[in-house]
Amino acid sequence: MNAKVDEVIERSVIANRLDTITKEMGCALEKSSRSPIFAEACDFACGICNGKGELVSQINGIPILAAAGTFSVQEVIKKYSGQIHDGDVFIINDPYQGGNHLPDIGIITPLFENGEILFYCVSRAHHGDIGGSVAGSYNPKATEIYQEGLRIPPIKLISRGRIIPEVQELILRNVRNPQMLQSDLWSQIGANNIGIARLRELLNHYSAYRIKETVEYLLNHAEELTLQAIKRIPDGEYTGEEWVDDDGFQANPIKIRVTVKVLEEKMTLDFSGTDSQVLGFVNSALVTSTSAAWIGALWALGSHIPRNSGAFRAISVVLPEGSLLNPADPAPVTLSTLTPASEIISAVFQALEPVACGQLPAGFGRYCGPSFYGIDPRNHEFYVGFAFCALGSGGGLEGRDGYPYMAPLSNYGGVRAPNIEVNEIQYPHLTLCHEFEMDSAGSGMWRGGPGIRYSLKFYGGNTTIVMFGDGMKIPPFGSSGGKPGSLNQVELTSAEEETIYLRSKEGARSLQSEEVLTIISSGGGGWGDPYQRDPELVRQDVRDGIISLLKARQDYGVVLTDKSIDQGETEK
């Protein structure tokens, strides 16, 4: 009996140690990186895979990046079987060969023990520029992946501890800010090295056999938990649909349709019925689509299930070839980790909401904003930035209001909003406004989070913006009787106070002196009948500027005087 208890404790210690190692990798990456998208926004994920390329542990970073780590490692194993050596480091970003989209570069480092590969440490991070025809690599006018940037298939960057200079030079010659990219790649390599060092410490304490046995147990246990959760769902087929605004070339919405088929312990997410691939960059390659489907399903099945390859084994995903979610190479895919990844998750939510026992939120705001680039007049250096301070908000959930300022759903708060003052140091702009937008939250018994109004003015006269995103036509959905959230809106106001409205997907536009860019992001959808919301919570929302007196009356049936609730009118 004591031996059994000791075994359980030991497994728990090893499991928690693996999780701690991935967190330490993430901390190292954040603290050592140079670019704002790493150091400020933390747009990255770190993980550990076993020798088969199965994901064992991941940091709570960007979900859509972390879940995809297993694909990259398996592509390396497939290509380099028998040619992987101690001291090798691999690099990859090709969406059609184990990557998400081109700006997300994966660095993979194997750990050997007695000639056997026990683990791979993986860091995957979004780089500010990976070449292509638009700085920042979000190109809404791209019609093929070659226009989006440099494709890197699984390839060695370091061989037996020595950098391969030809590979490094080829990559750096194809980007606009090579010093920044090189520095951030070293940060990723360094984070992996810390992971390798900590794993070696673990191996010095426990035998390789014991650790391998524990890892296999962790994967099998996650699979068993997933199967048990699936079994609690009544057998049947559950259908959900979500829509992408457009692809930037044609104005028609694009359908994502999923049928979740449950039979005893089997769950299949079948995306047959999804529209065909499109011309623009909202296509999503197999890795991103599969990862998003897993995220949506596991969210519905419960937070008690570890997010590793054991859980993934239990969920089959069907993605028809030639569809929006499994396009043929070389379709452009750069927007995919935002849209349609978030909409894949949303479609799964809407399919499983009737059987999820209140675990699923209403719709999240979609990302919509510009990248911006130019020459900083203060130091005459090239810069590329993104409007991370314009994030939308989450949907309401049974028991709580939606979290503000953390959309889109595929990132789920993993991308941090940079500090405003730090942003103004890094880029030549001034922030004029950064606040919640009144009446943007979807009404409900539990309302959505409010959207954000973010205004900024660039100076220097050489700034170019490129609009990318979605959610100007399709709002975040309401759930269980809740109302939808608001739509995204982007305005450009001239010095003469003339305002034009930008589309969600627009090519390069040069800003004129004194022009002000304003982004109004989506509020999340509401959950439950708004008339069931506690009138005191409605009063507090009016006091806090989240909703107006008119909204309180029209959507919630709550009538307020200057100081209190008018009980008689509210009862009516």
Per run of 10 residues, the mean pLDDT along the chain (length 572 residues) is 78 95 95 89 93 91 81 97 97 97 97 97 95 95 98 98 98 96 97 98 95 96 98 97 98 97 97 98 98 96 95 97 98 98 98 93 97 93 92 96 93 86 92 97 98 93 93 98 98 94 96 93 98 96 96 95 79 82
Distance separating alpha carbons of residues 374 and 385, to the nearest angstrom:
9
Domain positions in the chain:
11-206, 228-355, 361-533
Distance separating alpha carbons of residues 70 and 47, to the nearest angstrom:
9
Please tell me the predicted confidence (pLDDT) of residue 513: 81
For residues 185 and 29, the answer to whether their CB atoms sit within 8 Å is no
| DSSP SS3 for 107 | strand
Please tell me the predicted confidence (pLDDT) of residue 293: 97
Distance separating alpha carbons of residues 549 and 559, to the nearest angstrom:
8
For residues 395 and 363, the answer to whether their CB atoms sit within 8 Å is yes
Could you tell me which residues come within 8 angstroms of residue 461 by beta carbon, excluding any fewer than 6 positions away? 377, 512, 513
Please tell me the predicted confidence (pLDDT) of residue 570: 78
DSSP state at residue 444 = S
Residue type, 383: Y
The rounded Cα 290 to chain-centroid distance in angstroms is 13
Question: With b meaning 16 or more CB within 10 Å and e meaning fewer, what string describes 519-531?
Answer: bbbbbbbbbbebe
- Strands 266-270 and 315-318 come out as parallel
Q: How far is CA 512 from CA 189, 384, 462, 498, in A?
A: 41, 18, 8, 12
The CA-based dihedral angle spanning residues 295, 300, 301, 305, taken in that order and rounded to the nearest 10 degrees: 50
φ, ψ of residue 558 in degrees (nearest 5)? -105, 125
Instruction: Write out 355-418 in H/E/C secondary structure.
Output: HCCCCCCCCCCCCEEEEEEEECCCCCCEEEEECHHHCCCCCCECCECCCCCCCCCCCCCCCCCC
Distance separating alpha carbons of residues 500 and 479, to the nearest angstrom:
33
For tokens 């700006």, what's the residue? Answer: 103
Structural tokens at position 519: 């982004």
For residues 497 and 461, the answer to whether their CB atoms sit within 8 Å is no
Instruction: Write out 129-171 in H/E/C secondary structure.
Output: CCCCCCCCCCCCCCCCHHHCCCCCCCEEEEECCEECHHHHHHH
For residues 472 and 368, the answer to whether their CB atoms sit within 8 Å is yes
Q: How far is CA 264 from CA 227, 238, 268, 353, 360, in A?
A: 9, 14, 11, 19, 22
For residues 434 and 421, the answer to whether their CB atoms sit within 8 Å is no
For residues 269 and 298, the answer to whether their CB atoms sit within 8 Å is no
Structural tokens at position 204: 């010095």
DSSP state at residue 448 = P
